[in-house]
Structure 1
């Protein structure tokens, strides 16, 4: 899909404000994600307003889940490219190579999650110390 598709060509569209409401993200963040290529609108109205589909919503929710894990915008973009390329793999060998790259992201995300769990445990200990005073 390209930016040049019109509202009539894009099914079940949301404007950027509706997407912001559904995702609990700011308009500024959504525009930034468009500028850096993380979330490209599926179409535009005749007046040039961005239009998003349910697939775009799913993509945005994936991006939103990466943020707390501390992934950079570049890492997010790479993960999205890998995930997108898995759908279009031409051969089983190509799919296996892509899956290997995806597995590396999974391992990285798991390590980041474990670090967050450690930080939460430390925060719980800190709160317990404060409450004990």
Structure 2
């Protein structure tokens, strides 16, 4: 194994993703391992780990695989245009990519806010349950067999 490369198990541990999920992301073309060992093991770089972490962070916000793919493509292309020698020719392209990236940021912000609202509702509900069960002895809130409430 060459320096700077990690096997799938190490990457799974670092990212918190399952081996199955990582293989699925490879199958759908989201993250292709940078190399293979002589034995055929998938080898990943830090850049691959970063891509996987972007995907992992998008998942709870209900981004589709296609949206994930598009966002990764945008960031890849922005990185390519930023390192390109002919920056003037790519100015319009960079601006268009940044606008698309900004639309994903807006979607993410909106979805985070929706999750905050849901979390607030869940916390309120849990608080209500704690209040109702707080003073009652264990089992007091359960109906006895045959009893209709």
Give secondary structure in 1 for the equivalent of 2:92: helix
- Contiguous gaps of at least 5 residues in structure 2: 82-86, 133-149
Task: Return the index of the structure with the highest Cα Rg.
Answer: 2
- Contiguous gaps of at least 5 residues in structure 1: 1-6
Report how many aligned residue pairs link the two structures. Answer: 125
State TM-score, norm by structure 2: 0.81
Are 1:43 and 2:44 counterparts? no
Q: Which has the higher contact order (CA 8 A, sep 6+)?
A: 1
Superposed CA offset, 1:37-87 (max 9, x none): 111000011121110001111111111000110111111111101111111
State TM-score, norm by structure 1: 0.90
Q: CA RMSD in A?
A: 1.1
Cα separation, 2, equivalents of 1:33 and 1:52? 13
Superposed CA offset, 1:3-54 (max 9, x none): xxxx44xx40000111111111110000000000111000011121110001
Give secondary structure in 1 for the equivalent of 2:69: helix
Are 1:56 and 2:55 counterparts? no
